[in-house]
Amino acid sequence: MTTQQGTIAFITTPVYRQERRRKAERFILTHMYSLCRHFDVVCTGRTKDFIHEIIAAEPDPADTSRICDDLNCDKLTPELLEQWRTTIKENTEHNAEAHSVPGMICVTHRLVEGYVDAVIHLADWQDKSAKADSAVLSRQANVHDVPIALDLATADAYAKTWKGAIARGVTKLFPSRNHPMPSPVGNLDLAAEEDEVLAMIAHDQMKLDLCCFAVRYADLIFKKYKYILATGTTGGWLQDFMAACGRDAEAIGRIRRCNSGPYGGDVQIAYAVVKDLCNDVVFFQDPMVAHAHDSDIRLFEQAVVHRDISVRLATNVESAKLLIG
């Protein structure tokens, strides 16, 4: 389902759905139809299931009034109710990502790469403090200057503003955002069922160690892997080191640079992991230093150890040597 106004990410966290269910219901009943008419609404699998559960229920009189306002009608007929349900269900079904952490990584990846124009993230404070995925989505929205609502009052204000602008005939609600051309992880030319991609990541104090490791074992790495994914700064170092050691342009071009870590590079590589594009990761960590984008790093680590994801991870030189064989 294609719309013209942009893409809205709509996320509800587990504690919010449990503790503030009625508030989330009211927002869905009041605004979701209009959002789905004019935007692509992307959400995680569990948020999608929650939305579908709400719209499938028979509305009470108070809810009927909310639905009528969103439909801009005087009376909610069975035909209009079906139209309301179908519009919401088809849009959210079409744009839904996976459940849990993989789904949040995919939504955040869309944002990092410029394909989300605004975020409504109804999150309880317990979720924000305990869940790296919630913290990363909020942080990346702020990094990329994407409007984000973290509470119901702000989300309601955003939805009313968008509705009013559309009613006035405004056709461009959001400023244009740059997309990576080509995407470092979106156009990997891979053969089926082959482990061809190695991710190489390092904290600042470990970048030199990683580059020295890569140079020493470059023959093995380039023989075994078709592509090397790296965050922006690390990837630049790797390319420079390989050039200094006489590697040709073809080999250097196989090192794909994502964004820097603070600007979503960890999210882009985590996306490659959850999409089964990358199964081997070398991540040299500095356990003695705190990092400004620690939530991104924790989210990446969650992706690596998720029960539904198969990936091999090496976090120091000796384990990396075993990984590349």
91, amino acid identity: N
Contact 258, 185 (CB under 8 A): yes
Query: How far is the C-alpha of 224 from the C-alpha of 280, rounded, in Å?
Result: 11
CA nearest 199: which of 105, 59, 315, 305? 315
Query: How far is the C-alpha of 321 from the C-alpha of 323, rounded, in Å?
Result: 5
Query: How far is the C-alpha of 203 from the C-alpha of 15, rounded, in Å?
Result: 33
CA nearest 247: which of 290, 278, 287, 218? 218
CA nearest 46: which of 22, 72, 18, 23? 18
Contact 253, 284 (CB under 8 A): no
Contact 230, 195 (CB under 8 A): no
Q: Is residue 127 annotated as part of the catalytic site, yes or no?
A: no
Judge if the upstream peptide bond of residue 184 is cis by omega within 30 degrees of 0. Answer: no
Which residue has tokens 């990363």? 136
Query: How far is the C-alpha of 184 from the C-alpha of 162, rounded, in Å?
Result: 33
* DSSP at 59: P
Instruction: Give the active site residue among 70, 117, 266, 296.
Output: 266
∠ CA 14-150-304, rounded to 5°: 50
Query: What is the set of active-site residues?
Result: 266
